[in-house]
Amino acid sequence: MENEKVVVNHTESADERITQHSWKDILEPPAKGKNKARYFITPVIIGLIVGILSLVFIDIMDFFTRWSLGIVAHFIPPRSSGFGGGGAQAPYTSAPGYPFMIPLVEGMAGFISGILSYFMIKKPGSLGANKAIRAYHENPESLTLKEAFTTLFTSAMVLGSGGPSGREGAVSMVGGSVGVFIAKLLRQKPHEVREALAIGVGAGLGAMFKAPLAGAIASSEIFFKHDFDIETIIPAFAASAAAYLVVATKVGFSPLFRIGVLPVHSFELRYILWFSIFGIFSGLIARFLLWVFYYISDLFKKLKQPIYVSALIGGVLAGCIGLLSSYAIGNGYGWLQLIMDHKISPGVSELTLGIICVILAMSLIAGSGASGGAFSPTVVIGGLSGALFWHFAKVVSPDVNIPIAMFVVVGMMAVFSVAANAPLSTIVMITEMTGSYGVLLPAMLTVGIAMMFGGEHSLFNAQHDHRSASDHANS
């Protein structure tokens, strides 16, 4: 009994000490120096620089789009609403005027990209985000500014010349490099350098997707398959917001996509069932995408050719596939905007062909080592899959009153969440990309089911399962 009493008294006195320290701590001045730098000053600097470089990327990409596609191939791809498209002031062409120039243009872009990568970076080609993920786990300082600026130019050139590549992945890799450089310049500790890499990646994603909150969450999620680096979230808020503000100041604050229809307000049981089935469909589409991507990547590895030869072959073949479907030329966001705006109404065969062509062309560009990312084409594949599933739902049950835009948006995020293995940031991204909570309920359901059927693999093979498996876990 005496021992029990001692324990109780000890506990009470500890509580008293905690209480006293708690109210006194409230009156203490804010944390000095390093905490301020870590949580605000450094992230804002990184975000501002990433935002400026994002605008440079957009300008370079637009330059090559005007010249390589517009003048040489006589092709003007549509744009999404949030990047100057979707209206009467944004003309587009449904197919290239000089189709035979598309393989030539994409092949030359791949070749030049490979040459620059071979002589400037001297590293094998890989997805931009995957490079950042690998560096995060192994050696953050392996990301250099020389590699960042080379990747920025080559990725913008490949995408602007018609390659179905991703701008978000490239800019996120550039953001990671900037983060490492700034942290080293400020002589921060190794774990803070790694943190700066992560928030730079998130800032790039937030700026290019026009989704700053999702970018911040991605900075802690995208590096792991089944874990989060929660300490990254707070500084990532500041970095992602700063990068987004810089980009939005020029291109506008409207969401990336405009939904021109009202969402379904009453979810009957049959609608929930439709989105559940759609989750299975999306998961299988993502698995097929990943299988094709890694199969083609392995084929290029077996060729054992210099990166500029592989990138040339990949670009030419991707251009040939683009002749079969214009969805496989360039970014592809504009086509999804036109579908949601009911300005085009592609049928089942056109959508099926488009999905296959984008998967093949994206895999050829990324798998060959040509500079770029896989975010944008993966989102496009998901959107086209949503439009295709909408046709299936209307055939089976003609009275289904679900707008095609809902399936398109939910499909974008379901396929993307499986392919990137980042469901939480993807769910948030839905809201920001569309500017509406109307798709949140079906998206949560569909993404959850898609993740169950999507398997363990992702586009980013550098992801680790947990933080404990990372090389820096015990550092």
- The alpha carbon of 53 is separated from its chain's Cα centroid by a whole number of angstroms, namely 17
Map tokens 């999507």 to a residue: 454
- Quote the pLDDT of residue 78: 92
Instruction: Give the sign of the dihedral formed by CA 290, CA 295, CA 296, CA 298.
Output: positive
What are the E-state strand segments in 358-467? none
- The alpha carbon of 135 is separated from its chain's Cα centroid by a whole number of angstroms, namely 18
Whether the pLDDT of residue 30 is over 60: the answer is no
- Mean pLDDT (the chain, rounded): 85
CB 145 within 8 A of CB 354: no
CB 441 within 8 A of CB 308: no
- Quote the pLDDT of residue 22: 56
CA 314 vs CA 66, 107, 294: distances in Å: 22, 7, 14
Q: Quickly count: other Cβ atoms within 10 Å of residue 209's Cβ.
A: 27
Q: Quickly count: other Cβ atoms within 10 Å of residue 142's Cβ.
A: 15
Q: Which residue would you say has higher pLDDT here, 324 or 272?
A: 324
- Quote the pLDDT of residue 126: 62
Give the up-direction half-sphere exposure of residue 392: CA atoms within 13 A in the CB hemisphere.
15
For residue 224, report the phi and psi dihedrals to the nearest 5 degrees: -130, 155
pLDDT tens per residue, range 370-387:
877 788 899 999 999 999
Q: Looking at residues 451-465, what average pLDDT do you find?
A: 85
- Quote the pLDDT of residue 1: 45
- Return d(Cα 198, Cα 185) in angstroms, integer: 16
- Quote the pLDDT of residue 47: 96
Q: Which residues make Cβ contacts (< 8 Å) with residue 410, sequence separation at least 6?
A: 275, 278, 386, 430, 439, 442, 443, 446, 447
Closest CA to 408 of 474, 333, 473: 333
Q: Give the single-character DSSP code of 286.
A: H
With b for 16 or more beta-carbon neighbours within 10 A and e for fewer, the 306-344 pattern comes to: ebbbbbbbbbbbbbbbbbebbbbbbbbbbbbbbbbbeee
Q: Three-state SS for 475?
A: coil
Q: Three-state SS for 36?
A: helix
Whether the pLDDT of residue 144 is over 50: the answer is yes
Q: Looking at residues 110-138, what average pLDDT do you find?
A: 82
Whether the pLDDT of residue 407 is over 90: the answer is yes
CATH 3.65.10.10 is right for the domain spanning 34-255: no
Whether the pLDDT of residue 262 is over 80: the answer is no
CA 135 vs CA 120, 132, 305, 475: distances in Å: 18, 5, 25, 15
Q: Three-state SS for 224?
A: strand
Alpha helices in 117-222 (DSSP H): 128-138, 145-160, 167-185, 190-208, 212-221
Domain range annotation of the chain: 34-255, 269-453
Q: Give the pair of three-digit tokens for residue 270.
A: 């049959």
Which helix (H) or strand (E) segment is 89 a member of? none
Distance separating the N- and C-terminal Cα atoms of the chain: 45
Whether the pLDDT of residue 5 is over 80: the answer is no
- Quote the pLDDT of residue 429: 84
Q: Three-state SS for 464?
A: strand
- Return d(Cα 376, Cα 166) in angstroms, integer: 5
- Quote the pLDDT of residue 32: 52
pLDDT band at 16; cut points 50, 70, 90: very low
pLDDT tens per residue, range 48-64:
999 999 999 999 999 99
Q: Looking at residues 271-297, what average pLDDT do you find?
A: 94
pLDDT band at 187; cut points 50, 70, 90: confident
* Percentage of residues of the chain with pLDDT beyond 70: 85
Whether the pLDDT of residue 265 is over 60: the answer is no
Whether the pLDDT of residue 19 is over 60: the answer is no
Alpha helices in 304-346 (DSSP H): 307-322, 333-340
Considering 221-235, 314-328, 414-428, the range whose residues carry the highest mean pLDDT is: 314-328
- Whether the domain at 34-255 and the domain at 269-453 fall into the same CATH topology: yes
Q: Give the pair of three-digit tokens for residue 81.
A: 């609403």
CB 373 within 8 A of CB 170: yes
Q: Which residues make Cβ contacts (< 8 Å) with residue 236, sequence separation at least 6?
A: 43, 198, 199, 202, 203, 215, 216, 217, 219, 220
Q: Three-state SS for 241?
A: helix
pLDDT tens per residue, range 157-170:
999 999 998 887 78
Compute and round to an integer the Cα radius of gyration of the chain. Answer: 23
pLDDT band at 471; cut points 50, 70, 90: low
- Return d(Cα 408, Cα 351) in angstroms, integer: 12
Q: Range with the lowest mean pLDDT among 119-133, 157-171, 222-236?
A: 119-133
Residue at 456: amino acid letter: E
The CATH-assigned architecture of domain 269-453 is Orthogonal Bundle (1.10)
Whether the pLDDT of residue 99 is over 60: the answer is yes
